Amino acid sequence: MKITGYADKISARPGETIRFMVNCERPRYRADIVRLVCGDLNPEGPGIREHVVPTPANTSYKGRPQTIESGSYVSIPNSPPLQDLKSFTVQAMLWPTTPDRGPQAIVSKWQDQRRSGFALVIRAGRLALQLGDGKGTVEVVRTNKPLLARQWYFVAASYDAETRRVTLYQEPQTDYPTVSDAARVRKKTQLERLGSNQSALLFGALRTGSGQGRLDQKFNGKIDSPRLANRVLDRSEMERLKSGVPAHLQESVVGAWDFSQDISATTVTDMSPNRLHGETVNMPARGMKGYNWSGQSMDWQQAPEQYGAIHFHDDDVYDAGWEVDFSLAVPAELESGLYAARLRSGSEEDYIPFVVKPAKGKEKKLAFLLPTASYMAYANEHMATNAGLIELLSGRLAPLDKNSLFLNEHREYGGSCYDSHSDGSGVCYSSRLRPVLNMRPKHMSALGGDGSSLWQFNADTHITDWLEAQGYDFDVITDEDLHDEGLALLKPYRVILSGTHPEYHSLQMWDAMKAYQNQGGRLMYMGANGWYWRVAFHPDCPGLMEVRRNEGGIRTWAAEPGEYYHSFTGEYGGLWRNQGRAPQVMLGTGFSAQGFDVSAPYHRLPDSFQTRAAFIFEGIGKDEVIGDFGLIGGGAAGLEIDRADERLGTPPHALVLATSQGGHTDIYLVVCEELLVTTPGLGGTENELVRADMVFYETPGGGAVWSSSSIAWAGSLSHNKYDNNVSRITHNVLERFLDPAPFVR
Amino acid sequence: MYTVYKISADDRDVVEEFNAKPIGHHSPALQRVLNVIRGQPVRDKYVLICTKPHQEWTLGQLTGERGEPVRIFKNQVFTSVEDAEREIFRRRWELHTGEQN
C-alpha cells in the first residue's frame, strides 16, 4: 500500500473538525468524503456501496511519505546534572526478554554523531557499557556471561574519570546450579574523558545517526528502579539506592526514578532532589510486576512498591504523530452516519473511516452503536500471518488481501490486543492514532467465514447496508462516545442496534447500556460474543485502550499472574463474566462456541409460538428454517455464537425463540471458560453448548431486548434482494421496537 | 499445533470426500487428517493470496519469520477457493505420505 492514513477522531458532531494524516508515496492523491453503506466486495452480495459527499475537503493533495517510529522508551530531558557528568554510576533491575537479539540500550545518554556520552547496553547477550569521548573514540566494556531471558538481574556500571576505570556488575537474582550468568568486570579504558552532550537520557533505547537521530537499539523487557549517580558508588551504596535515596547519598545521586509512581500516566517521577522527571513514549506497559514482587498482592494499587517495572517493547506504538494533511469541518447539514475519507492515487487506495454523530437535540429514534472499542482491540491484528492456528480454526486456507500483506511487513504500524509483541509478551494496549488497516471497507479477514470473509468493521457494513436498503432513518454513534457521554448518549433513542461483534466494554459503557435498558430502552443485539472483555480507556491519552487477558476466556495470550489490573484505571481486567456480569445479564445470551468455516441455520423453538413473540415471527412459517443462506459461511448462525443460560444471567422470563444447535461443524468448539473438565465431544456435531440461541425478553420501563446471538446474522440480511426470513425477523423486531408502546407497563 | 497422528495409506478414503467438499462438514476421519495438515506450524505454511477479490487467487507461503514478506507464487492462478484448497491438499498429502493422490 502506497497510501495509508488515520484521523484524530473516531466521531464528530456537525461543526466539529476532523484532521486527517496521510502517508502517500505518490506525488499526489485525491481525497473524497464518502458515506459508507456496504464494504463487501463479494459479487454474491450487495456490492460496494458508497456515496461521495461534496465537501471543501474533496480535492487533490500533495503526497508525502510519513513513517512510524515504533518502540517504547522513557525520555528524561537534558539538564545540567545530566550533562555535567564526569565520573558516574548507572544501575537498574533488569528483566530482559530478548537478550540474544542485537544491541539493546537499557540506559543511554548518547550523541551518536560525535560519539559522545555513555550507554548501558546489552551486546551479544551480555551487559556492556559504551563510552564515547566526543572526539570519535568509543570504548565498550562488557561482561563475558550471557544474560538469561526472563530472569531478574541487578545490573550496574561505573566509570571513574580519574582512573579511567570501568566496573560492571551483572548479578542474577536467582541462582541456578550449573548456570553461570553472574559477572563482575573491572577494566581500565583508554578514554581521556567522558564526552558531554545535550541528548535526553533514555531508558529502553538509544538514538543513532545525525540530527534528532533514529530510535535504535530498542530494548525488550522490564526495567525497574534505574539510578544514576555522579561518582563511582561502591556496591553497598548501590544496594542502598535500590529502595530510595538515603540522605547521605543525596549529593551523589543525579536521578532515582520510581516507575511505581504515576502508573496510570505517561509521566515518570524522579525521587532525587534534582526532580528529573520524564515521560514514557509509545506506551510501554506499566503496572508490571517488579523484581521484588512477592506474590502476596495481585494488585499494583495495594503494593505499588512491588510494581516498579516498566515493560518496554521494540514494537510498541501509540500516536504515529504524523503531520496533518487536510481537515474536514463537519457540515451542519451532514446526516449522522458512517463515513470515510477515501484516498486515491492511481490504483492505490485507502479509506479513513469516521462517524458523524447527530447534532445534540437532533437525534433520530434509532441508533447504530458502532463497536469501535472492539475495532481497537482487533486493530492491525496479525493472526493470519503470525499464528499457524488460523487455518485450523477456520477450516480453510487463510485468505490474505493487500492490507494483511502490508501489515505483515510493516510491524511499525503496531499490533492488536490479539497479537504478541516481538518478545512474546501480549499486546495489552491498542491505539487508533495510527492507520488501522483492518478497519476498512473492502477488507477481508481470515476469521470472516467462507464466503465474504468479513470481520468486525466491514462485517458491520452489512448492517448499515440493510438499514439504508430498508429506508430506515438512523444515527451512528460509537463506543467511545458511549464511554465519554454515558446514558445521555443513548437516552434520545427508542432503539439501539449493536454491531456484529461488540466484544469489548468499559465499565462506563456497560453501566450506560444497563441503565438504558432499565429505563425503557430497546436493544437489538445484531451479533455475538458481545459484552465479553472488560477494557479501560486511558484517562488522558485519546484513542488508547487497554485489555488485560486474565484468568479465562478465548484469548491469544494470557496476562502474567499478578498483572491482571488495568494500568490505566486500576480496575480489575478480564472477562465481565468473572466480575458477575456475564453477557447473559445484558443480552440474554453469551459467548458459547466458535468456529470460522461455515454457518448454520436456526430452527424455531416452542417459545417462538408464545403470544409475546408473535410480532417477531409474523410472516414466518411454523416449520420454516431460518437463515439457511448468507454471505458469512452460508448461514445466519455462525463464527461466534451465544447461548441462553439462566445460571449466567439470562432473565427467567426470557423466550428462547430459535436455536442453531446441531447444525454446526466440528470446527465449532465450546469456549474454554466452560471447560472445567476436558471431555471428548466438544464439537458442533456433538456438544449441546455449540449453538446460537435467538432470545427475546422485556425489560423494566417498557423496553425489551432481542438477540440474534450470531456474528453471521447480518451477513444473511441482503439475501434474495433483502426478501428473506432473516431480514423479515430483523424488520419485525425493529418495527415493534420503534413503536413507543411499552412492552410491559 | 503439532499432531501426533500420522497420515497413511489407510486414510486414502478421505481424499475423495475432501475433493468433493474442501470446506464444510466433514467425516471424523477426514477431520483428523485435516487437523494434521491444516495444523502445520507457521513456517512454510500455505496461505491464499487474494489477487482479485472473489475472482482470482494465488498461493503464498509464510516464512515463519516475523515481518518477512509472504512468498507469493504468481505462476499458478486459481479462480475458485475450492480449487486452491484441492491443490494444497494434494501437495500436503504428498508431503505427508510420499504418495500422489
ipTM value of the model?
0.97
Looking at residue A744, its pLDDT comes to 87
- Separation in Å, CA of B47 to nearest CA in chain A: 5
Distance of CA A279 to the CA centre of its chain: 21
Verify whether the Cβ–Cβ distance A392 to B84 is below 8 Å. no
Looking at residue A387, its pLDDT comes to 82
Confidence of residue A388 (pLDDT cuts 50, 70, 90): confident
Per-residue H/E/C for B20-65 = HCCCCCCCHHHHHHHHHHHCCCCCCCEEEEEEECCCEEEEEECCCC
What share of chain A has pLDDT > 70, as a percent?
100
A422 interfacial to chain B (CB closer than 8 Å): yes
Looking at residue A214, its pLDDT comes to 95
Per residue in A580-607, pLDDT tens?
999 999 999 999 999 999 999 999 999 9
Verify whether the Cβ–Cβ distance B48 to A388 is below 8 Å. no
Looking at residue A212, its pLDDT comes to 80
Distance of CA A167 to the CA centre of its chain: 42
Distance of CA A191 to the CA centre of its chain: 47
Judged by average pLDDT, the poorest of A5-19, A385-399, A583-597 is: A385-399
- Sequence-distant (6+) residues with CB within 8 A of A47 are A38, A40, A41
Say yes or no to pLDDT of A745 above 70: no
Per residue in A240-274, pLDDT tens?
999 899 999 999 999 999 999 999 999 999 999 99
Q: Beta partners for A339?
A: A35, A354
A396 interfacial to chain B (CB closer than 8 Å): yes
User: Distance between CA atoms of A155 and A181, rounded to whole angstroms?
Assistant: 12
Task: Using the structure block, give the residue that is written with the C-alpha cell 480454526.
Answer: A393
Chain B residues inside the 8 Å CB shell of A396:
22-23, 81, 85
Looking at residue A137, its pLDDT comes to 93
Calculate mean pLDDT across residues A650-666: 98
Residue of B nearest to A403 (CA): B50
Looking at residue A184, its pLDDT comes to 98
Per residue in A685-744, pLDDT tens?
999 999 999 999 999 999 999 999 999 999 999 999 999 999 999 999 999 999 999 998
The dihedral through the CA atoms of A407, A413, A417, A423 has a sign that is: positive
The x, y and z cell numbers of residue A77, run together, are 530531558
Q: How does strand A49-52 pair with strand A348-356? A: unpaired
Per residue in A487-511, pLDDT tens?
999 999 999 999 999 999 999 999 9
pLDDT mean for each 10 residues of chain B (101 residues) = 86 97 97 95 95 97 96 96 97 91 72
Residue whose C-alpha is closest to residue A657's, from A629, A634, A691, A630: A691
Verify whether the Cβ–Cβ distance B1 to A397 is below 8 Å. no
Of A42, A408, A598, the CB nearest to B70: A408
The x, y and z cell numbers of residue B37, run together, are 495438515
Say yes or no to pLDDT of A57 above 70: yes
Looking at residue B1, its pLDDT comes to 62
The dihedral through the CA atoms of A664, A668, A672, A673 has a sign that is: negative
Calculate mean pLDDT across residues A202-212: 92
Residues of chain B with a CB closer than 8 angstroms to some CB in chain A: 1, 22-26, 28, 31, 34-35, 38-42, 45-50, 53-54, 57, 60, 62, 66-70, 81, 84-85, 88
A386 interfacial to chain B (CB closer than 8 Å): yes
Residue A31 main-chain phi, psi, to 5 deg:
-115, 135
A392 interfacial to chain B (CB closer than 8 Å): yes
Say yes or no to pLDDT of A629 above 70: yes
Looking at residue A709, its pLDDT comes to 98
Of B34, B47, B54, the CB nearest to A398: B47
Q: Beta partners for A127?
A: A122
Q: How is residue A609 annotated by DSSP? A: G
Chain A residues inside the 8 Å CB shell of B24:
395, 450, 597-598, 665
Of B35, B69, B88, the CB nearest to A397: B88
DSSP for A245-282, written as a single string: --GGGTTTEEEEEETTTTTTSSEEEE-STT---EEEES
- Sequence-distant (6+) residues with CB within 8 A of A408 are A382, A385, A400, B67, B69, B70
Looking at residue A83, its pLDDT comes to 95
Test mutation, A40, A385, A664, chain B, max B CBs within 10 A: A385
A698 interfacial to chain B (CB closer than 8 Å): no
